[in-house]
Structures are given as structure tokens and as C-alpha cells.
Amino acid sequence: MNDRVDVRNMLGAAAAATDPTRLLSIADLQVGTTSGGVRTLPLRGVDFELRSGETLALLGEAGCGKSLIASAIVGLLDEGTRIEAGSVRLQGKDLVKLTPTELRTFLGGRVAMIFQDPLASLNPGMTVMQHLAEVFAHHRKLLGNDARDEARRLLASAGLSSPGACLDRKPAELSIGTCQSVAIALALAGRPQVLLADEPTGSLDLTVQTQVLGLFERVRNVRAMAILLFTRDPDVVRRMAQRVAVVLDGEVVEWGPSGEFLANPLHPYSRSLLEAQPSRHQRGQVLGGAEHGAPAPAQPGCRFALRCPRAFGTCSSAVPEVHVVGAQSVRCHLYRDPENLDLPSLALAPLRRRPRSQAAVCLELRGLRITIEQTRPGVAASRVDGVDLSLQSGRTLALLGESGCGKSSVGKALAGLIDIEEGDLFLDGSPLGELFETAFMPTRRALQMIFQSPRAVLSPFMRIGDIVAEGMIALGVEPDPDKRSKRVAELLSRVGLAPALAASFPEDLDDFALQCVAIARALAVSPRVLICDEPVARFDAGCRSHLLNLLRELQEETGISYLLITRNPGVAGYLADDVAVMYCGRIVEQGSVDAVLSSPAHPFSRALVAASVEGARTPGHENATMVTGDPHTGVASSSGCHFHPRCPKATEICERKYPAQTRFGSAAHVVRCHWPG
């Protein structure tokens, strides 16, 4: 069998019957780069085809080569990196053979690209309107008021509720999420035939992400635009792609229709990506997913062999061939003899909750009010207003909501890192403010916090061992240096790191290892409550599953309580016992995690669940109505419900009067909505 011909045929098979137009064809693409005098091939023999009106998702972890494929297509390779072999054909023309000038001219309005970091595609010295005006004038001959009207329309469709307000602002005056919406509008402004979307929604909240993906789908259908979607999120594949190709360390190891792939992934690496998705249905169980780490570049054989639970002798010595299984194709030695293949089913296991009895309240908030000053020009201060929460000993309370709603401010207030205007905070029934004044060290020891970005909070000038031991020294937990060093080694080992890393500096570790260090540092003083501020938001599937498994195990072992701050309902469903949904500084729904995620009563809660993997796995929510507008719409509303400008059920009373708290189902499930359920 000719592997390369088979790859191209299989990738194009699903779309060929409906649209024979082949827009983009990549054959045997090999990209080489030089580092330290050593030449390597980060891309080796990549093949796929993209046809009009379809979305092909390239799925894989960070660093697998997805972005490098995009850069090779549009000629944006770094110095010292070049295409060694293969072809990249757009409408039959081989882009590899064109000079840079010819490439820019030919691509023109045919191809647009959205980068993972929106600031990479925006000029800091230009306003949003200037960015869009350039594209309108060059590709669509739109000028003046016509261009400005089209700019407002595009920005609104990209998720911005007040597009006119940002037209005359520069990127530094906007949030990252708003900048990404601008970058998306900029990419669509020229009406391209092919859109390369490199993690285009990674920095967006789930509700806005769903809105943007819906925009992509509408544009694709109306204009027969082809989308090459680069993502590490299987949920994005489920919602957007007709076909999927899984990229592992510079190679495509599985491809086929997305429906068949999601129901039955063939390659062990593909299975690990899907098994690592947290949800309420995996609660109390060990999350799957490959171990963190990548194989050595020079490793022969299968690139996944060192991480694969099904690997055998041949895997590390021979390159696997392509095997066709129904409509899917896979590069894996396991399929040489499919009759003897016995892979476990990916069917969801029955919901199995840990037995949890009601316990004493260890942490409580009553009427918390905080004003959050903004540092960006033109952005008004926001407010956490009237928040009531209670966390029971040995349990996890998830504070769930979009970015900027005030979740992190609540966590920082509990940790004593920011001041509050009004409200009462209690630890074991005692006022927290008084405890910090009269018994600072025991209180600080009882309350610890880990953050979304460990690199931003760990000192780059201290060794890892000193970072872990710092709290023990400051709070007098272990005065003996030898015992302290032994404890540091035990903690590093417990979080999955080698004790020898104690001598390293933060710059020697990646972000995943640093997050493990941050957890070890917090555990070193044996806290009773750990405030976890988006602890897994930055990480790929394998790293995320490791951290969630670790937090679950630590709670089982020690009885520690967690306040889990997250914008991901799947993470909340996996780890939490109870959940409070927050919108624009207010709690809009509270209850047990099963009640809120299976039967959300507030329209915002329903939209949030429907936009996540929880919605896909909960009957009745996968087709729930999606909200429009950006997360900060309505924040200035003083009397009515903050959500009413985005709510599909809003009426006049929603704008005029803030809803009272009502029960929904059980006594513990409460909601603030005029029209719950």
C-alpha cells in the first residue's frame, strides 16, 4: 500500500461526494529546523486535503506541530526553519515554489489566518477601525461610512455587544477576549476562501466561544468557505468539524469523519485526548489521558511509544503503517491484526459519586461586596455585589462563571490579598478579619491559594526546594532543616515531580511542573482550605487530567476543602460537590453539582452548560439556546438582572427589577431569575 496516496484519499473521502472542489492539498510535507547546530524535522510527511464548505480539525496537544503546519502554508516560518520536501497546493498552485512576493500576491484575499495570541495579528499603534479599514479598502473597496457600518456588523457577529465602543480604541485598551473577537472579524473582513484558525477560541469564555464557532459555521455555509481548525479541545471538534486529523509530534496518526472519531477513536493517543475530558460523569474516577511529556525527537518507531499504555516491542523500533478501519485510518501497530484487538469501550461509565455526608461549615461569606478597579483605559470599574457562599469541611465548592465576573476577586478576598468594602467572612465561625489581626500565622496556614499562572507568582530567583519550604519557614511549621528538606522531597514526589528538581530554578521547568510545585508549596503547611483559581485552565489534556486527579486524591487523603474557581463546567462537575454560578459579580444559582449541571435553572447556567462537554453528555442540553453578546454586557445595570441584555427569555420586569432568590426543585437548589427552569 502507498501510505501517502492512502492518506490523501482517506482525508478527502468524506467531502468528495458533496463538493468535488479541492481547495487546499498538502502532500508529504516535511519541515526542518536547526537548533544548536542540529537539524531536526518537527514535521514529517504531513498529508491532508481541504475542500470547499467543510471544516477539517487538526487535533493535538500544544507543541505537536499544528501551528507549524499553519505557518508553512502561509509562508511565516521562522528563520532557520524551512520546508524540506512535499507540496502545499492552493487551487492547484504549489505555494512552496513561490517567492515570498509571489506568495503574498497569490494568497491575497484567498487565505486568512487567526492566531492563538490575538496581539500577534494586531498592530499596537492602530485602532480597531484602522485595522479593518485596511482590509476593506484593499479587498472589498469599502470606504468611509460603508466601511464603518460593515466594521460594526462584523464585530457584533464576532461576539461584541457594543462594537461601536471599541472601533476607535487600540489593542492595549481592550481585553484579550475582545482583541480575539477583533482578530476574528479582521480575518473574515476580506471574505477569504480558506480560513486557518489556530486555537481561535482558546482565550474566550464558553458562551462567547459557542457564538464565534456559530459565526464560523454560518460563514462557511453561506460562502462555501473552507476552515482548517487547529485545536487541542475535542469539544471544539464535536461542535465544528466534519473531519478530523490527529497530530502527534509532527505526524498525522489518525484521520476520518469527526462523528466516527468521537464515538470510537482508534489511536491510543486519540483515546487519551478524549478520556482526559473532565465531566460530572467521570466524578470519583481516575481521569484518563497520556502521561505528561513528549518523546525524544530522535526516537525511532511510533512517536507515542514511550507514553502509550498499549505499547509493545515493535512500537519502539518500527514506524507504523496506515491501517483502514471503516471510514477511519490510523497509523498504529495495534491494527496489524484487528481480529485480536481488544480496546476498552469509550462509553461513559455510570455516574458514581463519593459518599459525602453534610459537614460543618468551615468557610462562609455573607454579603461580600468588592469594587474591582480596572487598569485599562475606558473600562469602568466592576463590582462583586452581595455574594453569599458557604464551604463545608472536606468538600469542594465550585465558583463557576465567565472571565471578569469577579470569581478571582472573591478568592483573593478570602485569602486576605485584597480589601473588601462590605460583608462578613468567617473561618470556623470566627470573623476572618479579626483572625488575620490576632492570629495571623494559624489563619494564613489554614488558608492557602494557587493561581492560574504559577510562573507569575513563584519567585524566579529561588530554587524549587526553597519555594516549597518558604511557607514552612515563614509560618514556623517545621524548624528543623533536615526534616524540612525531607518533607520537601516527599511533597515533590507526591505531586509527581522528581525530588532532585529541588535544586532547579523555575526557568528550568515548564508551566505544568511549576503548577505542581505551587500545589506542593501550598500543601507544605497542611492547610484546611485551598483556594484554587483556575488551576488547570492553561494546560493540555494530559497535564489537566494529572492535576485534577492529584487534587481529587489529595482531598481523599487529607480531607482538605477546596474553593474551586473555574469557567469550565466539566472541571466543576468532575471535582466539586456544590456549585455557585456567578454572573457580573452576583451569584445567580447555587446547589449541588448534580442538580445545577443536570437541571440548570438560570438561563446563563443553561447556556454555560450547553456550551461545554457537560451539555453534550446531558440529554436535553446539547441543543439549548445560546446567548449572544460579550460577558460584560449589562454590568452597568443597577436595578434589574445583569443578564437581561443577553437573555433570550428577558421581559420588561427583568430590566426593571432584580430577581429574588427562589428554590428550584430541592431546598438546596436556589436561583435568582424571574423565569427559572
* Residue 331 identity: R
DSSP label at residue 506: G
Which residues make Cβ contacts (< 8 Å) with residue 118, sequence separation at least 6? 171, 176, 179, 180, 182, 183, 203
* Residue 349 identity: A
Nine cell digits for residue 293: 511529556
Q: pLDDT (tens digit, 9 = 90+) per residue, 300-344?
A: 788 888 888 888 888 888 889 999 998 999 999 999 876 656 666
Residue 226, pLDDT score: 92
The SS3 of residue 147 is helix
Q: Where are the domains of the chain?
A: 3-110+192-281+299-338, 594-677
Residue 344, pLDDT score: 63
Residue 581, pLDDT score: 96
Q: Strand 226-231 vs strand 194-198: parallel, antiparallel, or unpaired?
A: parallel
pLDDT at 16 over 50: no
Assess contact for 359 and 526: CB atoms under 8 A: no
pLDDT at 569 over 50: yes
CATH assignment of 3-110+192-281+299-338, among 3.20.10.10, 3.40.50.300, 3.40.50.150, 3.30.2290.10: 3.40.50.300
Query: Facing residues of 194 across strands?
Result: 111, 226
Nine cell digits for residue 470: 518558604
Nine cell digits for residue 252: 498525522
pLDDT at 386 over 50: yes
pLDDT at 13 over 80: no
Residue 10, pLDDT score: 43
Average pLDDT over residues 224-248: 91
* Residue 487 identity: R
Output the DSSP codes for 347-389. Answer: PPPPP-PPP-----EEEEEEEEEEEE---STT---EEEEEEEE
The SS3 of residue 329 is strand
Minimum mean pLDDT range among 94-98, 218-222, 264-268: 218-222
Sign of CA dihedral 175, 176, 177, 180: positive
Nearest of 542, 548, 551, 496 to residue 522 by alpha carbon: 551
pTM, two decimal places: 0.86
Give CA–CA dist 166/124, Å, rounded.
14
Give CA–CA dist 630/203, Å, rounded.
13
Q: pLDDT (tens digit, 9 = 90+) per residue, 48-77?
A: 999 988 999 999 988 888 989 999 998 888
Give CA–CA dist 80/316, Å, rounded.
30
Give CA–CA dist 5/329, Å, rounded.
12
pLDDT at 401 over 90: yes
Assess contact for 386 and 367: CB atoms under 8 A: yes
Assess contact for 370 and 340: CB atoms under 8 A: no
Residue with cell 442540553: 621
Give CA–CA dist 241/81, Å, rounded.
30
Minimum mean pLDDT range among 4-13, 116-125, 139-148, 544-553: 4-13
Residue 338, pLDDT score: 66
Average pLDDT over residues 627-640: 62
pLDDT at 380 over 70: no
Give CA–CA dist 523/321, Å, rounded.
47
- Hey, how many other C-beta atoms are within 10 angstroms of the C-beta on 326? 10
More confident residue, 383 or 15: 383
Average pLDDT over residues 545-564: 94
Residue 479 class from Cβ within 10 Å (0-12 exposed, 13-18 middle, 19+ buried)? exposed
If pLDDT is split at 50, 70 and 90, which confidence band does 617 have? low
Give CA–CA dist 276/274, Å, rounded.
5
Average pLDDT over residues 618-638: 57
Residue 590 class from Cβ within 10 Å (0-12 exposed, 13-18 middle, 19+ buried)? buried
Residue with cell 455557585: 580
Average pLDDT over residues 505-517: 95
Buried b (16+ CB within 10 A) or exposed e, 486-517: ebbbebbebbbbebebbebbbeebeebbbbbb
Nearest of 461, 543, 464 to residue 500 by alpha carbon: 464
If pLDDT is split at 50, 70 and 90, which confidence band does 224 have? confident
Q: What angle do CA 300, 57, 210 make, to 5 degrees?
A: 140
Q: pLDDT (tens digit, 9 = 90+) per residue, 138-192?
A: 888 889 899 999 999 888 887 777 788 889 999 888 877 788 888 888 888 888 8
Residue 351, pLDDT score: 46
Nearest of 421, 418, 427, 303 to residue 363 by alpha carbon: 427
Query: Over 294-308, what HEC string results?
Result: CCCCCCCCCCCHHHC
- Percentage of the chain beyond pLDDT 70 is 88
The SS3 of residue 102 is helix
Assess contact for 90 and 172: CB atoms under 8 A: no
Q: What angle do CA 242, 179, 51 make, to 5 degrees?
A: 20
In this structure, what are the phi and psi dihedrals at residue 27, rounded to the nearest 5 degrees?
A: -130, 125
pLDDT at 560 over 90: yes
Whole-angstrom CA distances from 361 to 189, 383, 396, 524, 554 are 54, 26, 12, 23, 20
More confident residue, 482 or 666: 482
Dihedral, CA atoms, 400, 405, 410, 413, nearest 10 degrees? 160
Average pLDDT over residues 118-131: 88
If pLDDT is split at 50, 70 and 90, which confidence band does 199 have? confident
More confident residue, 211 or 654: 654
- What is the rounded end-to-end Cα distance, in angstroms, of the chain? 57
Minimum mean pLDDT range among 105-109, 255-259, 357-361: 357-361
The SS3 of residue 67 is helix
20-29, 55-64, 212-221 — which one is most confidently predicted on average?
55-64
Give CA–CA dist 628/240, Å, rounded.
18
Give CA–CA dist 453/537, Å, rounded.
9
Output the DSSP codes for 155-219. Answer: HHHTT-S-GGGGTT--GGGS-HHHHHHHHHHHHHHT--SEEEEESTTTTS-HHHHHHHHHHHHHH
pLDDT at 79 over 90: no
Average pLDDT over residues 537-564: 92
Nine cell digits for residue 563: 474553593
Nine cell digits for residue 21: 472542489
Give CA–CA dist 201/198, Å, rounded.
9
Residue with cell 476593506: 136
If pLDDT is split at 50, 70 and 90, which confidence band does 21 have? low
Which residues make Cβ contacts (< 8 Å) with residue 452, sequence separation at least 6? 533, 534, 535, 537, 538
Q: What mean pLDDT value characterizes the chain?
A: 85
Residue 354, pLDDT score: 55
Residue 356, pLDDT score: 58
Average pLDDT over residues 578-597: 94
Which residues make Cβ contacts (< 8 Å) with residue 667, sequence separation at least 6? none
Residue with cell 495571623: 440
pLDDT at 482 over 60: yes
Query: Over 428-493, what HEC string results?
Result: CCEEHHHHHHHCHHHHHHHEEEECCCHHHCCCCCCCHHHHHHHHHHHCCCCCCHHHHHHHHHHHHH
pLDDT at 18 over 60: no
Average pLDDT over residues 428-435: 91
Sign of CA dihedral 492, 409, 212, 171: negative
Nine cell digits for residue 488: 520537601
Assess contact for 260 and 327: CB atoms under 8 A: yes
